[in-house]
Amino acid sequence: MIKDKVAVKSTESIQGGFWNRSHHLDRMTLRELVVAYFQYPAIIAYLGLAVAAIGAWFWRPAGLAQTLAAIVIATLVYPFVWYCLHRWVLHSKWMWKSRLLAPTWKRIHYDHHQDPNHLEVLFGGLHTTLPTIAVATVPIGYAIGGFGGGAAALATGLITTCVYEFFHCIQHLAYKPRNKWVAAIKQRHMQHHFHNENGNYGITNYFWDRLFGTFYEKAGERKKSPTVFNLGYTTEVAEEYPHVARLSGGVATGHPRKRQRD
């Protein structure tokens, strides 16, 4: 029988140096976050690959108009791709059923909802993010401007990912933003994590939430979700589909902050 647990194990392997210990955003300052952010391997990889993509553009550039079009369209497409992935993949109820897909689902989203302020599992895994960024941007850029257009679109996608990841961190950081826009997106994302996970799927852009009817401004507009922390992967579900529970050492229950104190 699968038993409830008060803690959840992460499948993330923490690297040496700064990342040889756990970090929680609700216990960090903005300065500490910036230091941690630019030391994280995934962010370093995104920035390094963006520089390489820009270098590829200089090697075989597209025309100015084609390059600008590739950059603009990649920037506009990115929020839609994120919305679709977040809503229909990350919040899916089919990945945990597969022994092959369950570890990926656990790593890329279940762990994040189990402990929303845990910095190590907030960042996506490179094995899932890099192919997604490439598929979402390179074909569009290539269709517009050939090799150079594809390189420009890829660089745009990588840099946009860095921006998204930073604001995602900001949304979980224990401080009240002075900027009204940052405060608003932080509030909406916190509602997604602590009130009702079936809405507010955007990070910095909630256009697609508004269009598809998943946006809510205030917590009172929706009922409190009983699955906001486990995404529907309950003890009962784990009895039938135990793959995630086995990786996690059980099924964690209760509020993440309470589990951390315990």
pLDDT digits (tens, 9 = 90+) for 61-114: 999 999 999 999 999 999 999 999 999 999 999 999 999 999 999 998 999 999
DSSP notation for 214-234: ---SSGGGSPPPTTTTTTT--
Q: What angle do CA 159, 130, 183 make, to 5 degrees?
A: 45
Quote the pLDDT of residue 136: 95
* CA–CA gap between residue 197 and residue 87 (Å, rounded): 10
pLDDT at res. 131: 95
H-assigned helices in 5-40: 30-37
53 by Cβ neighbours in 10 Å (0-12 / 13-18 / 19+) ranks as: buried
Two tokens, residue 238 = 């784990």
Q: Residue 41 carries which side chain, given as an amino acid letter?
A: P
CB atoms closer than 10 angstroms to residue 21: 8
The number of residues making up the chain comes to 262
Tell me the C-alpha distance between 140 and 146, whole Å: 9
- The residue among 149, 123, 143 whose CA lies nearest residue 42 is 123
Nearest Cα to Cα of residue 99 among 253, 240, 5, 252: 240
Average pLDDT per block of 10 residues along the chain, 262 residues long: 49 50 81 91 96 98 97 96 95 93 92 89 88 96 97 98 96 90 95 95 95 94 92 93 91 69 48
Q: Using CA atoms of 202, 206, 210, 211 in order, give the dihedral in degrees to the nearest 10.
A: -80
pLDDT at site 27 = 86
- Look up residue 46 and give its two tokens: 């995104």
CA dihedral (180, 183, 184, 188) in degrees, to 10, reads 180
Closest CA to 91 of 207, 186, 209, 260: 209
